[in-house]
Amino acid sequence: MSTGITSNIFRFFQPFINLVLYSNLWIALGALCLTGQTLFLLEGTVDAQPLLPFVFSATLFLYAAHRLIGLFTFRFKVNNSRIQVIKAFKHHILIYALFSGLAAFVSFLFLKRETQWAVLIPALVSLAYIMPIFGDGKRLRDFSFIKIFLIAIAWPWITVVLPALEVGEENYLVLGLMFAERSLFIFAITLPFDIRDIATDQFNAVKTIPQQIGIHATKHMAFLLLVGAAIFVAINCYLGTYSAANGIALYLSYLLTARLIHQADDKKNDYYYSGLMDGTILLQSLFLAVGERVVGWF
């Protein structure tokens, strides 16, 4: 009885869930939260400023463009339900891409000059990542192994370096530690997506880490990356950059992330990945906010 009720509730909300996940609003919100998280950890507050709408709209634009270009340049297995949903929303995604691209351009004009120059690096890499500008219509992400490393560098650059430039943070040791921590975390949660896509990547002759070392070893690699991220958190706590509450919140998010990685396999529904695994990005910010509120009560 309860299973049937749960199933009916899910079916009722499924169109909304699909819209949020596959219109890329979910991942754009994640980028926004990580950027705000860096501002909070560095400044103790998250001021409304042009960087936040820029990161949100630019992420939405890039992922939307990636989805649309991927539909026409990448071959997928016929029974890939995720691609069927994306195809169904392709006109919505096109509209979001146009509006978010315009919003990103306008908010870019209000960034500091140093931040604008720093944006050019990930912007050029991101365009090469999604545009079929290489031989045989290949994108940068279609080359073996390179995708995951680009993501692990681009995300901390956008969510750590850019906010640091906007607020004028000059402690390069703290920034280096935060960059390394964020990079390892992003690397760890991206590995399960290569597990999800293992059949499609084999179909397209794109080599990935799970193909080379196996799913079990890939999960162990992700756990080690989270341990590395936790070590950098501990160092920033020791230096006083993070409070004890910040450190505990991040550790708890890593533990839950590790649990989700442990359960990952190539048979799980894409909601597990696009919803829960990507949701670990938002989870960090949620835990940090709750941790600060709890400390405030005492």
pLDDT (average), residues 194-220: 87
Dist CA 30 CA 252 (whole Å): 18
Question: Residue 281 has what pLDDT?
Answer: 94
Q: Residue written as tokens 């500091």? A: 112
Q: Which residue has the higher pLDDT, 169 or 185?
A: 185
pTM value?
Answer: 0.89
pLDDT (average), residues 137-155: 80
pLDDT greater than 80 at residue 168 = yes
Q: pLDDT of 6-21, one tens digit each?
A: 667 767 777 888 888 8
